[in-house]
Amino acid sequence: MRLPLLSVVLAIAACSASSQPAANRDEAPPPPRIDNGPGADACGAQSVQDRIGRAFGDALREAIAEESGAGRVRVLRPGDMATMDHRPDRLNIHLDDNDVIARIECG
């Protein structure tokens, strides 16, 4: 019975023995800011936002690509695997389960 009690006392003593102040830590950097300035809409997504809610098809894809002026167009359906690289000139068209455009954005 003495051994467990002795262990607890020694553990408490060891914790309180270090009277050194806690190490100073630098503050976290501020979060990144989204640039809404020139070049923020490099893929032309703003010009084709009216297509959201429409049924997607090849003809609509071509029209969106032409009107936006995007260098690349990527269509993403639910569950599709996609690279996480950010390309400002790439237009991402996100579809829902019924092939209806849910979101259009650069990246």
* Mean pLDDT, residues 8-33 taken together: 63
- Give the per-residue pLDDT at 71: 86
Quick check: 42 pLDDT over 60? yes
E strand spans, the chain? 72-76, 90-95, 101-106
Q: Which fold has domain 45-106?
A: Trypsin Inhibitor V; Chain A (3.30.10)
- Give the per-residue pLDDT at 100: 98
- Could you report the per-residue pLDDT of 45-101, keeping only the tens digit for each? 999 999 999 999 999 999 999 999 998 999 999 999 999 888 999 999 999 999 999
Region of residue 83 (phi > 0: left; psi between -120 and 50: alpha; otherwise: beta): beta
Q: What is the C-alpha R_g of the chain? A: 28
- Give the per-residue pLDDT at 26: 76
